[in-house]
């Protein structure tokens, strides 16, 4: 797949010199957007380092698309500033950006490679080159059999993939994907995860919005959680997970004994196991008390909180439930 994403420096294409003065791909501060009476985005700050895979998580209507559209310069914020590669007028560096909008759509009568070339031409890539690269990309993405097909002859998922390839054909430095996983089956979701990883390995910054926390957990170094037009958390996935104490799960041979006083008062039963938060003093003193108190340890595990649990804590149960209702029944594993 690396050929697919054979990334060259791209600043020359746009006539704008590559910016080396900032390590940030995106810096957005205090973004606010109103649509009539609706306050869609209420003061969003997002900072995306270059080369990151960055996830924007939030339930329906949270303000993800509006935020991305402001960052891209498709709409202007009512308040706040945003910079892409240090440039505060994103349109000026449009050729360095690839954008997959949430609303999918290509001309049904166009050939797939022409559709990719057309999208590339909107970002400054000559059509002939776009067609050549389009065919190459389709071949490498497993759609070689469809290069001569028209969009209307493709399945919905295949057409969506063609649109994604059109987003990448001009070799952008920054790729912004709005809900790229929705509408794809489990196999294609897995392929898309691989493609996103490959883009990042080649130095491209990738930002995607999603309802499905598992994609972000597998792919992202950093995330922003958007809920109700605000960002209650933006930062590393690891730090978000560390906001919750790890959970201990303990099974013992003996039901009772002096060891029981070592368990925190909040410990609960889950079948044969005790479940509780890892005490602040750590596992060693607890282990000592269990051994000396003759618990007869059968099994003991310590599990770090996942991003989903962190999301529930940060954004709230309601937001998590709203997200979960959108998760596909079949999940892919990394
Ligand atoms: N053009 C518009 N005119 C009026 N209201 C809008 C417009 N675009 C978005 N909104 C409103 O702004 C809020 C945020 O919408 P937005 O599309 O940004 O959310 P989202 O997080 O991307 O949601 P989803 O996951 O459903 O796509 C919603 O209340 C929505 O109804």
- Chain segment 221-280, per-residue pLDDT in tens: 999 999 888 898 899 999 998 888 899 999 999 999 999 999 999 999 999 999 999 998
Helix (H, G, I), strand (E, B) or coil at 213: helix
pTM for the model: 0.81
- Determine whether the shortest distance from the Cβ of 236 to ligand 1 is under 6 A: no
Lowest mean pLDDT of 79-83, 105-109, 283-287, name the range: 105-109
Q: By the 8 A CB rule, do 206 and 196 touch?
A: yes
Report which ligand 1 atom has the smallest distance to the Cα of 33.
12
Ligand 1 centre distance from Cα of residue 101 (Å): 13
- Determine whether the shortest distance from the Cβ of 90 to ligand 1 is under 6 A: no
Residue 156 is predicted with a pLDDT of 87
Residue 318 is predicted with a pLDDT of 60
The predicted-structure confidence for 81-93, as pLDDT tens digits, reads as follows 999 999 888 888 8
Residue 325 is predicted with a pLDDT of 55
pLDDT confidence bin for 7, thresholds 50/70/90? very low
Q: State mean pLDDT over 293-322.
A: 84
Architecture of domain 11-236: 3-Layer(aba) Sandwich (3.40)
- CATH 3.40.50.300 range(s) for the chain read 11-236
Ligand 1 centre distance from Cα of residue 90 (Å): 21
Helix (H, G, I), strand (E, B) or coil at 43: strand
Residues β-bridged to residue 55: 208, 223
Ligand 1 centre distance from Cα of residue 123 (Å): 26
Q: State mean pLDDT over 110-120.
A: 95
- Determine whether the shortest distance from the Cβ of 107 to ligand 1 is under 6 A: no
Atom 14, ligand 1: which residue's CA is nearest? 63
Residue 31 is predicted with a pLDDT of 95
Ligand 1 centre distance from Cα of residue 274 (Å): 44
Q: How many CB atoms lie within 10 A of CB 321?
A: 11
pLDDT confidence bin for 22, thresholds 50/70/90? low
Report which ligand 1 atom has the smallest distance to the Cα of 229.
14
């Amino acid at each position: 797949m690396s050929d697919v994403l054979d990334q060259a420096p791209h600043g020359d294409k746009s006539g704008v010199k590559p910016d080396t003065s900032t390590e940030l791909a995106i810096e957005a501060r205090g973004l606010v957007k109103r649509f009539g009476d609706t306050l869609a985005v209420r003061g969003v700050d997002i900072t995306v380092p270059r080369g990151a895979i960055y996830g924007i998580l939030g339930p329906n209507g949270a303000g993800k698309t509006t935020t991305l559209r402001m960052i891209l310069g498709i709409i202007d914020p009512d308040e706040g500033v945003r910079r892409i590669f240090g440039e505060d007028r994103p349109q000026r560096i449009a050729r360095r950006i690839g954008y997959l909008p949430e609303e999918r759509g290509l001309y049904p009568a166009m050939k797939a490679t022409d559709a990719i070339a057309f999208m590339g031409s909107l970002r400054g890539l000559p059509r002939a080159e776009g067609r050549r690269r389009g065919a190459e990309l389709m071949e490498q993405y497993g759609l070689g059999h469809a290069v001569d097909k028209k969009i209307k002859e493709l399945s919905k998922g295949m057409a969506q993939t063609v649109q994604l390839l059109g987003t990448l054909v001009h070799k952008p430095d920054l790729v912004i994907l709005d809900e790229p996983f929705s509408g794809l089956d489990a196999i294609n979701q897995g392929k898309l995860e691989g493609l996103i990883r490959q883009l990042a390995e080649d130095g491209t910054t990738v930002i995607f919005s999603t309802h499905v926390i598992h994609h972000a957990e597998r792919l992202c170094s950093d995330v922003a959680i958007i809920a109700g037009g605000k960002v209650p958390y933006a930062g590393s996935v690891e730090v978000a997970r560390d906001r919750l104490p790890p959970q201990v799960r303990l099974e013992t041979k003996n039901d009772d004994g002096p060891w029981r006083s070592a368990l925190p008062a909040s410990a609960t039963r889950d079948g044969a196991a005790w479940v509780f938060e890892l005490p602040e003093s750590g596992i060693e003193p607890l282990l000592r008390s269990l051994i000396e108190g003759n618990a007869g340890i059968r099994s003991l595990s310590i599990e770090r909180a996942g991003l989903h649990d962190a999301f529930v804590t940060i954004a709230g149960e309601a937001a998590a439930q709203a997200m979960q209702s959108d998760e596909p029944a079949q999940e892919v594993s990394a």
